[in-house]
Amino acid sequence: MTTNSTDESLMMAVREGACAELEILFDRHHLALYEFFYRMTGDRVASESLVQDVFRRILKFRDTFRDENRFKSWLFRIARNAHHEAFRRKSIRKVSPAGADVVRKDKSAALRDALLKLPEDRRELVVFSQYHQMTPEEIAELLDVDLPVAEVGVHRAMMELRDLYRTLSE
Amino acid sequence: MMRCEEVQEYLAERLAGSLSDRLSGTVHSYVRTHMLSCPECCEELEHFEEMQRVLHTIPVEPCDSASMWARFRVLMGANETENARSTRTRFAPRIRPLEVALVSLAAIVAVIAVFVAARQALKWISAARVVPALSTPATTPSPGPVAAVMRTGAISGQVRASNEEFLRNVRVSVTTIPKPGLPSTEITVEANADGKYRLDNIPAGQYYVLARFADASTYYPGSIDIAGATIVSIPPGAILEGIDFPSIASAGRSLSAAVPIELAEIAGRVLLEDGSEVSDPQSLGEIAISLTGNSSSIAATTMRLDGNGRFHQALAAGEYRFRIEEFSQNYLVRSVTAGGADLLKENLEVNGNSPVSVEIRVARRNDSGAGKVLGQELDTVDVTLRLDTGDRLPYWPDTSIVFTGTTGAFRVAASCVVGNLFRASVPADESFVLTVTNVAAGYAVQSIVDTRMTDLMHGGVFRPAAGPSAPSRIVVTLTRN
């Protein structure tokens, strides 16, 4: 295996016992995962821990990776589960955007608050589509839903974000 | 005719990238027709586009990549140990319960038989003989918890220079080999007064080793250029000794044993145009200033502002080119001076006699985003990449839109701001020929048109818009091959 190998072939090698290959996958994806968690939680320490948790789960559940799986979808599915579980266990605090009465410093802060105020399932759709440039097809695969469901979901999330952003910017 | 609500839904869908191929072509032409006569929808589109742009300005607090790597390696070490344990278990002979029962029964019978036989024997032997007690076999120590294997190594060596002064300020680092899109991990230590150093707990892997003096780097074993660097492989659990630097470079020249170097200092500050202090130095953000030794091709040294709008640097005396590499979006540079010298035009002479004092005068940028930067009137140009079907394009960070000045030597590539939006700052009084390079395979440029509807693909020349009221925009339309 080389650093040019695809994510999928590396993960298949990990599945077959060549766990050292996971290092290349960590190298490639830990920052993207960190960004996903940070956008979802707004908490650096929690996000760093969640990245570790994802790779711990990959090692534990490596047998469940199938040849037909796309690694990125599989990875983010694990990431979503890790995030949901951490919330359930309350090991990460719920993000608390500043209230609407706070004077906004800039648009970026207003939109950040709007994003954090979005319900979690909508927020992750915005994060996937806008920050990770995932296509509706990829999102549908990741969420294990039909394509139209993913499309409508992203669309609604964007509309909801726009409304919240408008309210917070006014 | 489409209604506004439908158009706005379309816009949201388009920005979300969820428009299906089947509909998009027809719908797109309806939307275009509607937009031409509907200012509300144009405003809505701008609002959406602005939101998308602002989304990408929300900062992410940087993570501690080095500590994440260290934790990952602990995880890998623990996994290795776990694997070794489970492998042992897997290959141990399997014993079935019936066999266990039979073997146990046989053992009990044997023990009873031995006991009875021994008692009988004792009766036969004279009671006067004392039988020494059998020594209790030493208890086999139970294996303690297996420590997680940390796959780290260490390196040590010595930096040499003719002037002991330098050795007091030399830092040695290992840095991971850069990969696009990934920050490098770096571990640094200061060499002692003899130039000796040792770096511990380095995650096993391949590294460049650098000795730094006055922010000029020497790559192991003695190259000022990364191309001449030797990659050092640090194996787990080992100490690599003798990673020595026979000589090091400073910002300006190489420090060989024969060349005495004069140390000098440069200090500077950022002031407003009228000479007053910037009331909120934090708003200056990042300003990176590079100094390049004029007499050699040695890599530049870079200084950054502290929180008070000041900078300070020790370096070797010499002549330097002074350049501002990065500058806050909030300010424009009016002048850069040192004594009476205009550093936008002249070189900077730094000698060891007294610290050189540099002054950067700035003005707060007005809302237009245009103004004098480094003596040139600049205009911001947004270039949007679109598909002829109206579909969203994949993210193409490799694509470049190059502006080449027709009268001067000005040439700049617009950088990708977000998604398919590219932005460039170009001199406002220049005209340009545009080229689009590195378009992804399977796509071709169909048209390049600016706000004045100039066909920039077939010989048309782009002239930046004058004034803030009409910002320059260019649309590049692509088609699938």
User: In the structure encoding, which two tokens stand for residue B406, read together?
Assistant: 């027709």
Number of inter-chain CB pairs under 8 A, A vs B? 107
Structure tokens, B472: 């320059």
Please, how many CA atoms are within 13 Å of residue B188, restricted to the half-sphere of its CB?
13
Measured between CB atoms, does B12 come within 8 Å of chain A?
Answer: yes
Whole-angstrom Cα Rg for chain B: 36
- Quick: pLDDT tens for B41-77: 777 777 777 788 888 888 888 888 777 888 888 888 7
The answer to whether B304 and B286 have CB atoms below 8 angstroms apart is yes
- A56 contacts in chain B (CB < 8 Å): 75
**Of A55, A111, A135, Cβ closest to residue B75:** A55
Q: How far is CA B149 from CA A62, B26, B198, B279, in A?
A: 21, 62, 21, 53
pLDDT score at A8: 92
pLDDT at A37: 92
Q: What pLDDT is recorded for position B467?
A: 52
Name which of A23, A122, A158, A164 to mutate to probe chain B: the one with the most chain B Cβ atoms within 10 A of its Cβ: A158
Looking at beta carbons, which pairs linking B333-336 to residues 24 or more positions away fall under 8 Å? B333/B360, B333/B361, B333/B362, B333/B372, B333/B373, B333/B374, B334/B273, B334/B361, B334/B362, B334/B363, B334/B372, B335/B359, B335/B360, B335/B361, B336/B360, B336/B361
A110 min Cα distance to partner chain B (Å): 10
HSE (CB half, 13 Å, CA atoms) of B164? 3
Cα separation, B401 vs B413, in Å, equals: 5
Rounded to an integer, what distance in angstroms lies between the CA atom of residue A30 and that of residue A48? 9
How far apart (Å, rounded) are the C-alpha atoms in residues A84 and B305?
Answer: 41
C-alpha dihedral sign at A122, A128, A134, A138: negative
Q: Which helix (H) or strand (E) holds A2?
A: none
pLDDT at A169 over 70: yes
DSSP A137: H
The pLDDT of residue B393: 64
Q: B13 to chain A nearest CA, in Å?
A: 5
What is the distance between the alpha carbons of residues A62 and B466, in angstroms, rounded to a whole number?
60
The answer to whether B456 and B434 are in contact (CB under 8 A) is: yes
Q: Are strands B376-387 and B472-480 parallel, antiparallel or unpaired?
A: parallel
Longest dimension (CA), chain B: 125
Q: Do A151 and B18 touch (CB under 8 A)?
A: yes
Taking alpha carbons only, the member of B385, B393, B390, B404 closest to residue B475 is B385
Residue A85: pLDDT over 80: yes
Please write the tens of the pLDDT for every residue from A145-159. 888 888 888 888 888
d(CA B179, CA A161): 34
Closest approach of A88 to chain B, Cα-based (Å): 24
Mutate to test the interface with A, among B8, B53, B54 (most CBs of A within 10 A): B54
| Residue among B269, B312, B319 nearest B294 (CA) | B319
CB burial string B27-64: b at 16+ within 10 A, e below:
bbeebeebbeebeebeebbebbbebbbbbeebebeebe
> How far is Cα of residue A7 from the mean position of the Cα atoms in its chain?
17
Q: Alpha-carbon torsion A153, A154, A158, A159, what sign?
A: negative
3-state secondary structure chain B: CCCHHHHHHHHHHHHHCCCCHHHHHHHHHHHHHHHHCCHHHHHHHHHHHHHHHHHCCCCCCCCCHHHHHHHHHHHHHHHHHHHHHHHHHHHCCCCCHHHHHHHHHHHHHHHHHHHHHHHHHHHHCCCCCCCCCCCCCCCCCCCCCCCCCCCEEEEEEEECCCCHHHHCCCEEEEEECCECCECCCEEEEECCCCCEEEEEEEECEEEEEEEEECCEEEECCCECCHHHCCCEEECCCCEECCCCECCEECCCCEECCCCCCCEEEEEEEEEECCCCECCCHHHHCCCEEEEEECCCCCCCEEEECCCCCEEEEEEECEEEEEEEEECCCCEEEEEEEECCEECCCCCEEECCCCCEEEEEEEEECCCCCCEEECCEEEEEEEEEEEECCCCCCCCCCCCEEEEEECCCCCEEEEEEEECCEEEEEEECCCCEEEEEECCCCCEEEEEEEECCCCECCCCCCECCCCCCCCCEEEEEEEEEC
* Residue B369 backbone zone (phi > 0: left; psi -120 to 50: alpha; other: beta): left
Closest-CA distance of chain B to residue A136, Å: 6
**Chain A interface, mutation test: which of B5, B24, B55, most A Cβ atoms within 10 Å?**
B55
Q: For the full predicted model, state whether its pTM sits above 0.90.
A: no
Convert B290-303 to b/e letters by CB count within 10 Å (16 or more is b): bbbbeeeebbbbeb
Higher pLDDT, A78 or B355: A78
Confidence of residue A11 (pLDDT cuts 50, 70, 90): very high
C-alpha distances in Å from residue A47, one per residue of A60, A156, B56, B145: 20, 26, 19, 30
Supply B228's token pair.
């001449």
Give the residue from A81, A65, A77 showing the smallest Cα distance to A7. Answer: A65
Confidence of residue A29 (pLDDT cuts 50, 70, 90): very high
B308 touches chain A (CB under 8 A): no
Please check whether residue B360 is in contact with residue B268, taking contact to mean a CB–CB distance below 8 angstroms: yes
Distances (CA, A) of A44 to A27, A37, B64, B357: 19, 8, 9, 39
User: B308 is written with which tokens?
Assistant: 């008070």
Q: Which residues of A touch B64 (CB under 8 A)?
A: 48
What pLDDT score does A99 carry?
Answer: 44
In chain A, % helix, strand, coil (3-state, to 5) comes to: 75, 0, 25
Peptide bond into B221 cis (omega under 30): yes
Nearest chain B Cα distance for residue A86, angstroms: 18
Q: β-strands B472-480, B421-427: how paired?
A: unpaired
- Any idea what the Cα angle at residue A57 is, between residues A52 and A63, rounded to 5°? 145
Residue A21 pLDDT grade (very low, low, confident, very high; cuts 50, 70, 90): confident
Q: B202 pairs with which residues across the strands?
A: B153
Residue ranges in chain B whose pLDDT is less than 50: 18-23, 89-96, 121-150, 181, 251-261, 295-300, 366-375, 468-469
In sequence order, what are the beta bridge partners of B173?
B188, B210
Decide if the complex's ipTM is over 0.95: no
Residue A98's pLDDT is: 47
8-state DSSP, A39:
H
